[in-house]
A = this chain, B = another copy of it.
Amino acid sequence: MIDRAPLELERFLPYRLSILTNTVSQAIAREYERRFDLSVTEWRVMAVLARYDGEGLSAREVAERTAMDKVAVSRAVARLVAAGRVTRRTHHGDKRRSVLRLTAKGWKVHDAVAPLARAQEREVLARLDAEERAWLARILDKLLMA
């Protein structure tokens, strides 16, 4: 049986996910790109550095925790270091590895952006009722695991 019925793009899951992701991400990204000269990739790097602060993550660990590839991380880190938002040192005992940490300046940016991000998330979730939010969380968990 040949499957020739026209594909209805607006009912097609990958398409709908793509639209939703773009609108949700862009809404906030534009804001902090403009106000802080901070790209999405840079923000993600800052977020994980903030979260695992004190440990001093390597670029590879950042890549793992942000689902970005190492090239993207390398570039984001280079910009963050140039902007004085992140320090990069060499790992004791493994000169290949870098040790990344937020600077005080980096923390200030983080503390300004984090509430914006949270507010944006709340705004989206506010359009759902409690039951829908619970299902959404569950569905994402399921689809995202391995």
Contact = CB atoms under 8 A, between A and B. Distances in A.
Interface in A15-32: 15-22, 24-25, 28
Interface string A100-121: 0000000000010011011011
Chain A, interface size category, equals 35 or more
A138 interface: yes
A38 to B, nearest CB: 14
Given A3-B118, A17-B21, A25-B14, A66 B124 contact: no
A44 B128 contact: no
Interface of A: 2-4, 6-10, 12-22, 24-25, 28, 44, 47-48, 50-51, 53, 65-67, 111, 114-115, 117-118, 120-121, 124-125, 127-128, 132, 135-136, 138-140, 142-144
